[in-house]
């Protein structure tokens, strides 16, 4: 059976060129970058070259502003906790939003238990944070604002540059979780006025287990791991050289392909969304029609539960995701859709398709070909649909 | 998403007794769209014996499979026998459910009890 992978927001397949770039660093150039003999120096050079390229890619002033981590979650934890612990004498207040990834949200919840105060800003029905709300939430105790660049569920792109300006004016550190957008849409740290930015390699056809935290020079932050002097004493642990080289390669390719690829994906996305809304009654788009990530499609198919649709799609070889409670372990529907004011029953009916480089128009047509029948079959079983038809 | 047994997937993909009964002798409506599960169970009874059972369900794979299974398990049973069917028995008949999905079997048992209750109320 032909398989169609439409969950690129979850993870992506590593590009063959990336695998090729990484391969020498497993056995041949295996050295520990902290050593002074040739093996170590080779590894160290590869890593520093990667750091330079990454710095250029996001418009950092210096490669020393790039810290390699184990992934997006670590970068988010590092940013939020690192700023909180380093600046607690100055203040104890953190501003974030209700739609952040759990890597930020649960870190904030942890800090709340340790005495920090956290403001979770609401969003509008598209998922946008209002920069005015950020401004109003700032107090003389605020030490950090953490707002994501683009949302992982609905793809909404937040007004980061505007929030960055407000943060700067108020001399508050600003972190953005750019895990979903990094390598897909252009990001310039200087233009966004961010002090910290999280990214992860496996969302842009790089390997899992490697990420990055951009830390603007002069930012007061405590280290994330204690031990050796790696990463400028900010994150001890022998570096994942192969992963770092792979991450860099993925960025290098993204830099060259991003403009064209994002245009291509946005066209597919718009066709996909239009197709679902036209072919299936009682459906709605979640998130903004245009200010969303180029590959993100998030719809609710009312009166059908999300997981049941995913199982039927999987039966046809189609891999997607849902914000239904049944796909999580907490039995609550997506916190993102809920914060956007989507009623729980409609959130349970959500489907997320995230397009990527190997997807074609044919894939979209294939899904649009089978989804209406899947929905029809499940709605036939649904007492909610029956009530709707009856009324 | 959880990993389901083959039996769960079979009942999900080929649900038994899906539909409604016209003028049923008992109806059990349980669950809530807000929670993501709604189960309607319809039963026909003759001489204290369930001679037909149908369901309609809004819910995940496990919710649909447990609905299907419970209709199959009660078919032809006396009311007393049907009342003895526990949620655990429904889950076992499906070769088990992931722990997080056990509440679906609870819902199936609740629908069954509610349908039988409804029958006694109507009598």
CA gyration radius for chain A? 22
Structure confidence at residue A332 (pLDDT): 82
Q: What is the C-alpha to C-alpha distance for residues A352 and A286, in angstroms, rounded to an integer?
A: 9
pLDDT above 90: percentage of residues in chain A: 95
Indicate yes or no: pTM above 0.80.
Answer: yes
The closest CB to that of B61, out of A307, A384, A386, belongs to A307
CA-to-CA distance for A367 and A6, rounded, in angstroms? 10
- Which pLDDT score is estimated for A330? 65
What is the pLDDT averaged over residues A366-386?
Answer: 97
Distance of CA B20 to the CA centre of its chain: 13
- The answer to whether residue A94 scores a pLDDT higher than 90 is yes
pLDDT higher than 60, residue A183: yes
* Tokens found for residue A366: 């294939």
Confidence check: pLDDT of B34 > 90: no
A319 included as an active-site residue: no
Q: Crossing angle, helix B61-74 and helix B102-122, to 10 degrees?
A: 40
The pLDDT value given to residue A184: 97
Tokens coding A376: 């029809």
CB pairs under 8 A between A and B: 78
| Average pLDDT, rounded, for chain A | 96
pLDDT band at B36 (very low <50, low <70, confident <90, very high): confident
Q: Best residue in A307, A319, A322 to probe B by mutation, most B CBs within 10 Å?
A: A307
CB-based contact B60 A308, cutoff 8 Å = yes
CA–CA dist B44, A281 (Å, integer): 33
pLDDT in tens, A117-148: 999 999 999 999 999 999 999 999 999 999 99
Query: What band does B35 get if pLDDT is binned at 50, 70 and 90?
Result: confident
Beta strands in A303-391 (DSSP E): 318-319, 350-354
**Nearest C-alpha neighbor of A32 from the set A41, A24, A40:** A40
Residue A391 has a pLDDT of 65
Grouping H, G, I as helix, E, B as strand and the rest as coil, residue A96 is strand
- The predicted structure's pLDDT at residue A324: 78
Asked if the Cβ–Cβ distance from A383 to B59 is below 8 Å, we say: no
pLDDT at A266 over 60: yes
Chain B residues within 8 angstroms (CB to CB) of chain A: 1, 4, 9, 12-13, 15, 18, 20, 29, 33-40, 56-64, 100-101, 103
CA–CA separation, B16 and B8 (whole Å): 12
pLDDT surpassing 60 at residue B2: no
Could you write out the three-class secondary structure of A124-157? CCCCCCCHHHHHHHCCCCEEEEECCCECCCCCEE
ipTM value: 0.95
The tokens for A198 are 């999280």
Does the structure show a pLDDT above 70 at A259? yes
């Amino acid at each position: 059976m032909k398989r169609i992978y439409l969950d690129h927001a979850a993870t992506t397949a590593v590009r063959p060129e990336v695998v090729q770039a990484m391969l020498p660093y497993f056995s041949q150039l295996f050295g520990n970058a902290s050593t002074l003999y040739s093996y170590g120096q080779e590894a160290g050079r590869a890593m520093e070259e990667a750091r330079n390229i990454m710095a250029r890619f996001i418009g950092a002033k210096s490669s020393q502003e790039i810290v390699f981590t184990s992934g997006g979650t670590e970068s988010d934890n590092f940013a939020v906790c690192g700023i909180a612990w380093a600046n607690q004498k100055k203040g104890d207040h953190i501003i974030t939003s209700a739609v952040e990834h759990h890597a930020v949200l649960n870190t904030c919840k942890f800090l709340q238990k340790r005495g920090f105060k956290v403001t979770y800003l609401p969003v509008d029905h598209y998922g946008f944070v209002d920069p005015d709300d950020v401004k109003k939430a700032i107090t003389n105790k605020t030490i950090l604002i953490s707002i994501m660049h683009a949302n992982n569920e609905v793809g909404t792109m937040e007004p980061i540059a505007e929030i960055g300006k407000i943060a700067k004016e108020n001399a508050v550190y600003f972190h953005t979780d750019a895990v979903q957008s990094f390598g897909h849409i252009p990001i310039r740290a200087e233009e966004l006025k961010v002090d910290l930015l999280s990214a992860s390699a496996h969302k842009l056809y790089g390997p899992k287990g490697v990420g990055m935290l951009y830390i603007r020079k002069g930012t007061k932050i405590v280290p994330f791991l204690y031990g050796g002097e790696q990463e400028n004493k900010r994150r001890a642990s022998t570096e994942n050289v192969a992963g770092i080289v792979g991450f860099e390669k993925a960025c290098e390719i993204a830099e060259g392909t991003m403009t064209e690829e994002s245009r291509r994906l946005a066209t597919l996305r718009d066709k996909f969304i239009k197709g679902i809304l036209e072919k299936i009654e009682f459906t709605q788009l979640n998130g903004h029609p245009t200010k969303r990530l180029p590959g993100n499609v998030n719809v609710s198919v009312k009166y059908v539960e999300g997981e049941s649709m995913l199982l039927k799609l999987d039966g046809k070889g189609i891999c997607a995701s849902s914000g239904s409670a049944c796909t999580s372990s907490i039995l609550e529907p997506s916190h993102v859709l809920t914060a956007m004011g989507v009623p729980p029953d409609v959130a349970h009916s959500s489907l997320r398709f995230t397009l990527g480089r190997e997807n074609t128009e044919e894939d979209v047509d294939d899904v649009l070909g089978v989804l209406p029948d899947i929905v029809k079959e499940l709605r036939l079983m649904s007492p909610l649909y029956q009530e709707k038809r009856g009324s | 998403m959880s990993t389901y047994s083959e039996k769960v997937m079979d009942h999900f993909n080929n649900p038994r007794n899906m539909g409604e009964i016209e003028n049923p002798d008992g109806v059990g409506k349980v669950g809530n769209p807000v929670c993501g599960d709604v189960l309607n169970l319809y039963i026909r009874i003759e001489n204290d014996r369930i001679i037909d059972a149908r369901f309609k369900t809004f819910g995940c794979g496990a919710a649909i499979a447990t609905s299907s299974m419970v209709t199959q398990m009660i078919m032809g049973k006396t009311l007393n026998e049907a009342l003895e069917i526990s949620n655990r028995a429904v889950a076992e008949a499906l070769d088990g459910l992931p722990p997080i999905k056990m509440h679906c079997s609870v819902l199936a048992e609740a629908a069954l009890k509610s349908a039988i209750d409804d029958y006694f109320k109507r009598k």
